[in-house]
Amino acid sequence: MSSTFTLDSATSRANPVSAPLKRLTVPAIRARKNAGATAEPLVMLTAYTVRMAQLLDPHCDILLVGDSLGQVIYGLPSTLPVTLDMMCAHGAAVVRGSWHSVVIVDMPFGSYEGSPEQAFASASRVMAETGCAGVKLEGGTAMAPTIEFLSKRGIPVMAHVGLTPQAVNQLGGYAARGRTQEEHARILDDAKAVAAAGAFGVVVEGVVETIADAATAELDIPVIGIGASAKCDGQVLVAEDMLGLFERTPRFVKRYADMAGFVEDAVKAYADEVKSRAFPGEAQVYKPKP
């Protein structure tokens, strides 16, 4: 699948045009799982900016504007300080930079846990200001009433169970979940509860493989894995992790490139040429008209 772009002559930046593709929808994503199986796994990556959305969009079914932008973009220690203002700004950018993928925006910590009414106020603001197709929120059984409340009011919800980063203080860290029988059963119950409440899909993160396999087999909605199982209905990663932009990546991430090394090499070459006065050259300077 190829991208089609127009060139903004004022900025020399590429802008996507919608001619070749029609944007996917939440019902289309939900329908990819039929009779308990997904013939073609769903491809999902995070995106936080227009340009990254442009590059990822032709290859993805879902673009997630994750609250992981707190660490990736803002250098915060966790996702907890992320605000609705941040999510709305980046969500709108990703929608502008895409035309094929379903765009889902994370609900940040503190914006939905108080009550279903609080969640609706936050989610409706996110959808109105970004143009996204739905929101994602963390939590299982405890959040099922909120998911049902939102779904019945026209807001598509993707759930998130297992290792939930917004609960890192309660969990005591980012270790894989479900190593005990008790926790195994609880995570499966969470997954079933959010599906029953009306979630159109669920992210299962950082769990032992057997939990992800069981959830995928037992739920009739798509299960998106991250640090879970190849048998899931789809996969999601933080794009900057799989592109190799950070020195350290989680164990479950496969690095498909070394973008950090590429950037460092390019910047070093630029710095060397500036210091030697090789840049700018004849091709980069303006001469007076004859």
Catalytic residue positions, numbered: 205
37-38/33-34 β-pairing: antiparallel
Cα of 143 vs its chain's centroid, Å: 20
Rounded Cα gap, residues 264 and 279, in angstroms = 18
Q: Tokens 């090499």 correspond to what residue? A: 265
Burial of 278 (0-12, 13-18, 19+ CB in 10 A): exposed
Relative orientation angle of helices 84-96 and 116-130, to the nearest 10 degrees: 40
Rounded Cα gap, residues 70 and 75, in angstroms = 6
Residue 12, phi then psi, degrees to nearest 5: 65, 25
Structural tokens at position 56: 């990822």
User: Cα-atom radius of gyration of the chain, to the nearest Å?
Assistant: 21
Find out whether 66 and 248 touch, Cβ atoms under 8 Å.
no
* 3-class DSSP state of 73: coil
Rounded Cα gap, residues 79 and 67, in angstroms = 6
Give the long-range contacts of residues 250-257, CB within 8 A, separation 24 or more. 250/174, 251/227, 252/206, 252/226, 252/227, 252/228
Structural tokens at position 92: 């709108």
Structural tokens at position 116: 């279903």
